[in-house]
Amino acid sequence: MIVSVAIEKGGTGKSQTAVNLSCALVKFHKLKVLVVDLDPQGTASLGFGISPLSTDTNTIYDVLSGRVDPQDAVYSYNDSDLCIMPSNHELAIYGSNEFTTELDNLLSPMSNIFDFIFIDLPPTLGNFTMTSLCLSDSVLIPVNASSSVCIVALLSQLRTIKTTVEAVNSKLSVLGILACMVNNTRICSEVLSWLEDEYPNLLFETKIRQNIKLAESLGLGEPIFDYAPDSYGALDYKNVAGEIMRRVT
Ligand SMILES: Nc1ncnc2c1ncn2[C@@H]1O[C@H](COP(=O)(O)OP(=O)(O)OP(=O)(O)O)[C@@H](O)[C@H]1O
Ligand SMILES: [Mg+2]
């Protein structure tokens, strides 16, 4: 299953979710999972310890431009069934180039190997997000529940998905809405109750609480299950992985 991790808003927990949810699905459900970093920022790559500044790593840009075969840009994390196809700033060229066929050629063989492919996307509604939505089975939408602006971004994202379904990809569905950065503020409880009222079936029961260990782990290049396995960040991502398994099986 190919899942776009998308919302048209920056800093909502997309990369954090791509990294740690994938890790939880491999660790607790024995799946094979690939994270495709389709963001020139390379944050998901960084989350697995692969610097976007590295010059000796094959990236998704090398694959899309035909310089290397897809399997040569797939890196296993700690020799596990969790793999990452990294990205760096070079990918930015595809922000304006049409690359649907190239991305399809990359994803098709991978979807025979991996149970899940999570595509980590940039915050803008541009070529990367649209191309990814055209080729995905579903969308996972992480919202920053501690910001009321997330409601506009969510509504906009759902509208984009509806247009994509009607125009180009009728199989696309919403895997779920994941409330991230949840804290004890009044705005957060208002956002959560709005989400519960409006999207009771799409909203995951598990909420990803604000947790400094999560913020530390992403920058240090270690998924939360290695960096702080007893943190509540780890517990939250373990629980959301369980919910995803119940939704897809
Ligand atoms: N639950 C959380 N608790 C604390 N910090 C978090 C949490 N989730 C994410 N962060 C931190 O917030 C920042 C933004 O998270 P992340 O990079 O995952 O967002 P994003 O949606 O991918 O951003 P962008 O739109 O720029 O790609 C990062 O520094 C990350 O470590
Ligand atoms: Mg990101």
Domain that includes residue 160, residue range: 2-248
Mean confidence (pLDDT) of the chain:
97
- pLDDT the model gives residue 55: 86
Return left, alpha or beta for 11; rule: phi > 0 is left, psi -120 to 50 is alpha, else beta: left
**CATH code, 178:** 3.40.50.300
DSSP conformational letter for 182: B
Provide the terminal-to-terminal Cα distance of the chain, rounded to the nearest Å: 12
- Atom number, ligand 1, closest to the C-alpha of residue 123: 25
- pLDDT the model gives residue 244: 98
Ligand nearest the Cα of residue 217 is 1
Number of domains in the chain: 1
Measured between alpha carbons, how far is 162 from 47 in angstroms, rounded to an integer? 31
Distance from Cα 176 to the centre of ligand 1, integer Å: 18
The tokens 């939408």 sit on which residue?
141
Q: pLDDT grade, residue 52 (50/70/90)?
A: confident
pLDDT digits (tens, 9 = 90+) for 97-112: 999 999 999 999 999 9
**What average pLDDT does the segment 156-174 reach?**
97
**Nearest by Cα to 144 from 202, 86, 201, 209:** 209
Select from 7, 15, 211 the residue to mutate for testing ligand 1; criterion: most ligand atoms less than 8 Å from CB.
Answer: 15
Q: Which residues approach ligand 1 with their CB closer than 6 A?
A: 10-16, 39, 41, 43, 122-123, 180-181, 208, 210-211, 214-215, 218
- Decide: helix, strand or coil at residue 146: coil
pLDDT digits (tens, 9 = 90+) for 215-240: 999 999 999 999 999 999 999 999 99
φ and ψ at 141, to 5 degrees?
-115, 105
- Atom number, ligand 1, closest to the C-alpha of residue 217: 31
